[in-house]
Amino acid sequence: MKNLRVKCPAKINLTLEIINKREDGFHNIKSIMQLIDLYDYLDISVEKSDRTKIVLSGNSNEIPYNEKNIVFKATDTFLKKLGDECYTISINIDKNIPVAAGLAGGSTDAAGTIFGLNTVFDNILSDEELNELCASLGSDLNVCLNGGCLLATSRGEFIEHLPVIEKTVTLIKPKNLGISAKEAYTKYSEKDYKPQNNMTEKMTDALISNEDITPYLYNDLEYAIFEDYEELKYIKRILPDSIMSGSGSTYFLLRDYSGNLGDDYQIIRNLHFISNGVQIDQ
Starting at the edge strand found earlier in the chain, the sheet holding 265-272 runs: 243-244, 251-253, 168-174, 265-272
Pick from 96, 120, 122: nearest CA to 108: 96
Active site residue 191: no
Q: Characterize the bridge pairing of strands 265-272 and 168-174.
A: antiparallel
What pairing do the DSSP bridges indicate for beta strands 158-162 and 149-154? antiparallel
Of the residues 40, 95, 109, 140, which is catalytic? Answer: 140
CA distance 30 to 186: 17
Cβ atoms 110, 70 nearer than 8 A? yes
Encode 8-39: b = buried (16+ Cβ within 10 Å), e = exposed.
Answer: bbbbbbbbbbbeeeeeeeebebbbbbbbbebb
Give residue 155's Cα distance to chain centre. 13
Helices then strands, each counted (H, E), the chain: 8, 12
Is residue 9 within 8 A of residue 277, CB to CB? The reply is yes
Active-site residue flag, 140: yes
Q: Which of 7, 11, 30, 167 is catalytic?
A: 11
Q: What's the longest Cα–Cα distance across the chain? A: 58
Question: What proportions of the chain, in percent to the nearest 5, are helix, strand and coil?
Answer: 30, 35, 35
| Cα–Cα distance for residue pair 9/69, rounded to 1 Å | 18
User: Which residues are marked as active site?
Assistant: 11, 140
